[in-house]
């Protein structure tokens, strides 16, 4: 299968509370060809989250068994909980020609880049750290202690944004969604995703 038929793998990262889930929901709504990779996690479900839709909520032992059996494309610990990307669904969907979004933190993102260099990485920045705190507080899904842990993680996560292919600031939600769509379209023309096209032309007389 050449790169034109295979789907594109997108990695989307952002500090917790930036709005990445909100942006990803909009992207999924606007393009039925995109498959959202449902991660496994040991964290407790938040109100309104559904098992098998938002995450596979599993126990730590089950998670570690999946890792040991090679079932995870990547995994990482974040704020005391384990998160991981089930491998098979990602590769199946890409092979079927679907684009796939991984909504994952920076350690996992780097692991995916190491095994899938063709993955396109997008980092979403909050307008400021104080606005990040406002959003986490307004979302009202986490305790004060959890919010503080997530804010503390934000700065080192943002430092790692330098290694991403694209940066988007989520100030106006509408503008951020439009920029994400533009970047995802442009990414399809990145040289690293089009080596087959170059070879094809060189093969022609």
Q: Looking at beta carbons, which residue is closest to ligand 5GP? A: 108
Q: Which is nearer to ligand 5GP, 26 or 74 (CB)?
A: 74
3-state secondary structure of 21: helix
Distance between CA atoms of residues 51 and 88, nearest Å: 18
Member of 9, 12, 14, 158 binding ligand ADP (CB under 6 A):
14
Residue 201 interaction partner, one of ligand ADP, ligand 5GP, none, beta carbon < 5-8 Å per kind: none
Q: Which is nearer to ligand 5GP, 110 or 183 (CB)?
A: 110
- 8 A C-beta contact, residue 110 and residue 11: no
Least distance (Å) from ligand 5GP to the CB of residue 83?
3
- 8 A C-beta contact, residue 108 and residue 39: no
DSSP state of 46: P
Least distance (Å) from ligand ADP to the CB of residue 25?
8
Q: Which helix (H) or strand (E) holds 34?
A: strand 34-36
Least distance (Å) from ligand 5GP to the CB of residue 126?
12
- 8 A C-beta contact, residue 27 and residue 34: yes
Q: Looking at beta carbons, which residue is closest to ligand ADP? A: 19
- Give the closest residue to 22 by CA, choosing from 167, 183, 176: 176
Site residues (CB under 6 A) for ligand 5GP? Answer: 16, 39, 43, 74, 76, 78, 83-85, 103-105, 107-108
Q: Which is nearer to ligand 5GP, 2 or 81 (CB)?
A: 81
């Amino acid at each position: 299968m050449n790169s034109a038929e295979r789907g594109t793998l997108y990695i989307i990262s952002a500090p917790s509370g930036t709005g990445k889930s909100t942006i990803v929901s909009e992207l999924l709504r606007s393009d039925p060809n995109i498959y959202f990779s449902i991660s496994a996690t040991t964290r407790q479900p938040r109100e309104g989250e559904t098992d098998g839709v938002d995450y596979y909520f599993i126990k730590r032992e089950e998670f570690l068994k999946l890792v040991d059996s090679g079932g995870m494309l990547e995994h990482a610990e974040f704020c005391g909980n384990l998160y991981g990307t089930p491998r098979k669904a990602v590769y199946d969907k890409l092979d079927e020609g679907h684009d796939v979004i991984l909504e994952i933190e920076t350690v996992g993102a780097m692991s995916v880049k190491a095994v899938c260099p063709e993955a396109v990485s997008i980092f979403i920045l909050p307008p400021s750290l104080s606005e990040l705190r406002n959003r986490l507080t307004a979302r009202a899904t986490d305790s004060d202690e959890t919010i503080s842990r997530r804010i503390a993680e934000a700065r080192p996560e943002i430092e790692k944004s330098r290694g991403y292919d694209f940066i988007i600031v989520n100030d106006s939600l509408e503008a951020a969604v439009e920029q994400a769509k533009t970047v995802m379209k442009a990414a399809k023309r990145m040289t690293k995703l089009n080596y087959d096209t170059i070879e094809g032309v060189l093969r022609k007389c």
